[in-house]
Structure 1
Amino acid sequence: MDVRLKFLGGAQSVTGSKYLLELDKKKLLVDCGLFQGLKELRLRNWDEFPMDATTIDAIVLTHAHIDHSGYLPRIVNEGFNGPIYCTEATASLLEILLLDAAKLQEEEAEFAQHKGYSKHNPPLALFNTEDAKNALEMVVPIPYQKPVNVLESVTATFFDAGHILGSAIVSLNIQGETQQKKIVFSGDLGRYNQPLLKDPYAMHDADVLFIESTYGDRDNVAEDIEGQLASIVKTAFDNDGCLLIPSFAVGRTQLLLYYFHRLLTTNQIPACDVYIDSPMAISATNLHKIHRDDHKLSIGRGEHESIFDYPRFKYFRTQDSSMSINSIEKNAVIISASGMCTGGRIMHHLFNRLSRKNDTLLFVGFQAEGTRGRKILDGEPTSRIYGIEVPVKCHVEHINGLSAHADRGELMRWAGQFKEAPKMTFVVHGELKSAHHLSLKLKEELHWPNVMIPRYLESFELFTGI
């Protein structure tokens, strides 16, 4: 058996993860994500798919984040008709995320046509709700650490990656005619010693390793998160304003609620309401009550025994309730998606609050190059929203320690648990600077040979004649 590899995404970028394995005539795609951020990356979503989607036999997902799963409706529309394997919690999240992504695609196309700012006539959605529903019908949920045959000669096992609910490190065992080989995909690795999620599972061997590098060039020391949040909240309220937090709906929002529950119940911040204005975040929060074994929070069996049911937390699902938040001028915390300000309800909050000098905008996670969040964080004086340049006059703050991604030290800690160096290591899912830094660390500190930073659409021969 010959095994070949092609990078259809996640190469020298933090988004669009897609790794195609060709095993003789069989094809397996690991992750199926959307490109986000820079326009040149986003345009790849509209390009003709680099291969015939009908020839792909199966897809394996590391987790549900859109940059790892969001292309599923599109590839199904293009003819993919095989099983999509993932963990049980990931399957639950996909029902929320893919339908929401499709709705956003449809709404953005409709809004662009109404406002006349699209270059396309008529504006098109990348995929629609029907495509998303068709993709969901193909999902096959698999428990952690239970091997499943994804192809005749390939067994996949999912191990907890500690990144978001249901996130996984994927181990592929390939049985050739004469040899067995093991390929490990780190997926997105979480942090150690988190209050919400478990530590990334320790892997000890692999012939070929894919390791993410989102924070491969920096350490995000989680020092006194409660103290930092408390200080920012109090300063925002002292300015007679509100605190607006763009947050990823899955993982980050639930972690923020954990901290705000602690701050409020210990009187570290003034009594205030925390508005969770994201239907997706609300649904994802409810899933933490269902998948109780996939995180560390103690959630009771009674109706009001979860920190997520704290009375100060106000969950707003409807559009009308979301718009009503615009009238709140001070002493409130507003958490809304998306985390990089690329779409969703956060847009109308930014539209209304960026120009308010009394308000504070707090970023609590990585902002990819080219995203609206990155541009605001980098100090651009205006932000284009709904075709209008909105001046950025509010206070802008940033906390690093809340990231769901392992930082440089944690990536090295995870890699250092391998008993032997992988024969080939691909540093993926990171901007070039981060990937380059991590690759040097792996070579210099762990003495790993053959550490590579692949390019988009680059191909490799992994094994021949096994």
Structure 2
Amino acid sequence: MDVNLQFLGAAHCVTGSKHLLTLEEAGKRHQLLIDCGLFQGLKELRLRNREELPLAPADVEIVILTHAHIDHSGYLPKLVKDGFRGRILCTEPTADLLSIMLLDSAKLQEEDAVYANKKGYSKHHPALPLYSQADVEQVLPLVESVAYNAPISLLGGSLVLTFREAGHILGSAIVELDVRGAHQHKRLVFSGDLGRYDSPLMHDPTAIPQADVLVVESTYGDRTTRLADPESVLARTVNEALDRGGVLLVAAFAVGRTQALLYYLKKLLAAGRIPPVPVYVDSPMALRVADLYPRHPTAHRLGHGNVFDFSGLHLVPESEQSKALNQKTGWGIIISASGMCTGGRIVHHLHHRLPRPQDTLLLIGYQAEGTRGRRLLAGEQEIKMFGEMVPVRCHVEHLDGFSAHADRSELLRWLDQFQAPPQRAFVVHGEPPAAENLAATLRERHWPSVEVPEYLESVRLFAGL
């Protein structure tokens, strides 16, 4: 058996995760995708979403998802639209999240296209979404859920898949693939996105003792972001924002970060470390995601019940309620998505809040290159929104330590748990400085072969297995 791997995304960038695994034996070829994500951020990356893949979607037999974030799952509707009819395998919480996230992704694309056509600021006439909500409905029947730590045989026994806890978001998984050839067995491990150790919400990433080939993320491969006391840092940030007499607008990913933020705010309010302040969750997707936690009590540390509710919490499901928040003055905390400020209701809040000196914008997740959040973080004084330039007069704060990604020290902690270094390692899902930094460290630790693959690069992992 010959085994090949091609990197169709997350190579020299943090989005668009797609890894094409090809197994060839006795004249038969099997193709699988590990993750199927959208590119986000820089325009040159986003344009790849509309480029033809170097494969026939109908030839792909299986898609294996590490988790539901759009940069890992958001290309699925396009793949199905173009002919894929195979199996989509993921954990049970991820299966529940997919219907929420993919429908939201399609809805935002449709709304953006309508608005762009109305305002005439798109270069495409007419502007069209990559896929529609109707396309998403064709994806969902193909999804099959698999329990953690429950091996499943694929391709007639040539491949055995096992999901391990990754600790990144609800349902996130490390993918173990045991390839069984006529002469040898080999193990491939895809880290997906690894979470943080000692998180109050998520379990620690599972230690993997052995792998022949490892594909590992490197989002924070070049820096440590862990906060010694995240509650105190958040309390100080909230109190400083309220002291300005304005609204604290938090850009938070609907999955993971919003729930973590509510957990901490609930604790701070109960302890009197921040004053009683109305907290508005203006993200319909975040509200639906919060409802999933009680359905999967073993997939996180919080157990049963409504763990995010507290006095002063206001849920904002309707768009008219969201628009009304733009008129709010005085104290208040508004939590909205998307976390990189690229779409969703946060964009309208930014349009109204950025020019207000008394307001504060808090970014609490990774901001990919080319995103509006990254430009705000860099201190740009004007941001283009809805075809016009909006001045940035509000305070902009950033808390890296609230990211759901393992930082450099946590990545190395996880990597150090291998009993012996994998024979080949590929460092992906990181901007070049982060990926190269982590790769250099592993080489210094005498890992046999560590590579940072190029976009579309193809490598032969095994021949005559």
Q: Answer yes or no: same fold by TM over 0.5.
A: yes
Q: TM-score, normalised by structure 2?
A: 0.98
Aligned position for 2:213: 208
Aligned to 1:45: 49
Report matched runs for 1:78-227 at 5 Å. Answer: 78-152=82-156, 153-227=158-232
1:151 Cα deviation from its structure 2 partner: 2.4
Q: Which whole-Å deviations, capped at 9, do the CAs of 1:107-159 have from their partners, x for residues lacking one?
A: 11111100101111111110011111111110000110111123221111000
Q: C-alpha separation between the residues in 1 aligned to 2:150 and 2:277?
A: 45
Give the drift of 1:48: 1.3
Identical-residue share of aligned pairs (%): 54
d(CA) in 1 for partners of 2:3, 2:239: 57
1:351 alignment partner in structure 2: 351
Q: Kindly indicate whether the alpha-carbon contact (under 8 Å) linking 1:31 and 1:62 is maintained by their aligned counterparts in 2.
A: yes
Q: Does 1:459 align with 2:464?
A: no
2:161 is aligned with what amino acid? A
* Alignment partners' CA distance in 2, 1:347 and 1:85: 33
CA contact (8 A) 2:427 2:439 kept: yes
SS at structure 1 position matched to 2:303: coil
Deviation, 1:90, is 0.2
2:257 matches 1:252: yes
Return the letter of the residue paired with 2:142: M
Deviation sequence 1:24-73 (CA, Å, 0-9, x none)? 11001100000000110000001112211111011000000000000000
Instruction: Please say if residues 359 and 395 of structure 1, whose CA atoms lie closer than 8 Å, have aligned partners that are also in contact.
Output: yes
Q: Paired residue for 2:243, among 238, 258, 277?
A: 238
Q: Is residue 6–residue 458 contact of structure 1 (8 Å, CA) maintained in 2?
A: yes
Using the alignment, how far apart are the partners of 2:226 and 2:405 within structure 1? 12
CA distance in 2, matches of 1:450, 1:308: 45
- Counterpart contact for 1:58–1:150, Cα < 8 Å: no
What is the CA–CA distance in structure 1 between the aligned matches of 2:154 and 2:285, rounded to whole Å?
30
- 2:272 — aligned with what? 267
Aligned residue type for 1:429: H
CA deviation map 1:382-413 (0-9, x unaligned): 11111111000000111111110001111000
Gapped regions of structure 2 (runs ≥ 5)? none
Q: Hey, what does 2:449 align to over in structure 1?
A: 450
Q: Measure the CA separation in 1 of the matches of 2:91 and 2:205.
A: 15
Question: Over aligned residue pairs, what C-alpha RMSD do you find?
Answer: 0.8
Distance in 1 between residues matched to 2:325 and 2:311, nearest whole Å: 17
Which aligned runs of 4 or more in structure 1 are off by greater than 3 angstroms?
none
The yes-or-no answer on 1:299 pairing with 2:304 is yes
Q: After superposition, what is the alpha-carbon deviation per residue over 1:251-299, rounded to whole angstroms, capped at 9, x for unaligned?
A: 0000000000001011100101110000100001111111111000133
Aligned residue pairs: how many? 460
- For 1:319 and 1:365, how far apart are their aligned partners in 2? 24
Partners of 2:61 and 2:216 lie apart in 1 by: 24
1:363 and 2:368 correspond: no
CA distance in 2, matches of 1:260, 1:229: 8
Provide the C-alpha distance between the structure 2 equivalents of 1:367 and 1:207, rounded to a whole number of angstroms: 32
- The answer as to whether partners of 1:35 and 1:42 remain within 8 angstroms in 2 is yes
Bigger mean CA offset, 142-151 vs 167-176: 142-151
Alpha-carbon contact 2:294-2:303 (below 8 Å) kept: no
Name the residue aligned to 2:430: 430
What are the ranges of 5 or more consecutive residues in structure 1 without an aligned counterpart?
301-305
Q: Which amino acid aligns with 2:213?
A: V
1:279 maps to a residue whose letter is P
Matched, 1:278 2:283: yes
Shift of 1:178: 1.2
